[in-house]
């Protein structure tokens, strides 16, 4: 079970690296515009805010990778950062797009359950 939990935690971390790239570097490029359903004008106006948001996603990924690097002793770190991702996913679903619940929240919840079971 521990291997599956770590695999899910790793996938959640990689997802947040991808979100970092989208928000920090591709926000106003075609890939970012498609991913977030933005117009070029709206993306250009919010580019700095998106980059800041992307940086926070990078911190979430770093925390999850840190937890993985600690081996069995990293369960608490993984739980903390998965909890942060879950809360961010819930908040994003309420305030921005329901899609965020499924992209961020559900994988984090699955990861939390698996970490608790391992």
HSE value, Cβ hemisphere, 13 Å, CA-based, for 56 = 8
Residue 60 banded pLDDT, cuts 50, 70, 90:
very high
pLDDT digits (tens, 9 = 90+) for 29-51: 999 999 999 999 999 999 999 99
pLDDT of 113:
97
Question: Where in the sequence is the domain holding 82, given as residue range(s)?
Answer: 2-117
pLDDT at 1 over 90: no
The helix (run of H) or strand (run of E) holding residue 31 is helix 30-36
CB count, 10 Å around CB of 54?
21
DSSP letter assigned to residue 1:
-
pLDDT of 49:
94
Average pLDDT estimate for 56-79: 97
The tally of domains found in the chain comes to 1
Predicted structure pTM score? 0.91
DSSP three-state, residue 39? coil
């Amino acid at each position: 079970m521990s291997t599956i939990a770590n695999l899910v935690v790793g996938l959640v971390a990689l997802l947040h690296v991808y979100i970092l790239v989208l928000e920090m570097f591709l926000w106003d490029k075609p890939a970012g515009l498609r991913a977030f359903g933005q117009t070029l004008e709206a993306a250009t106006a919010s580019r700095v805010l998106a980059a800041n948001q992307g940086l926070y996603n990078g911190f979430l990924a770093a925390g999850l990778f840190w937890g993985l690097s600690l081996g069995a002793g990293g369960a608490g770190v993984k739980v903390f950062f998965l909890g942060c991702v879950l809360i961010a996913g819930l908040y994003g679903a309420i305030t921005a797009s329901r899609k965020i619940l499924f992209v961020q929240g559900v994988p984090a919840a699955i990861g939390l359950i698996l970490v608790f079971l391992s």
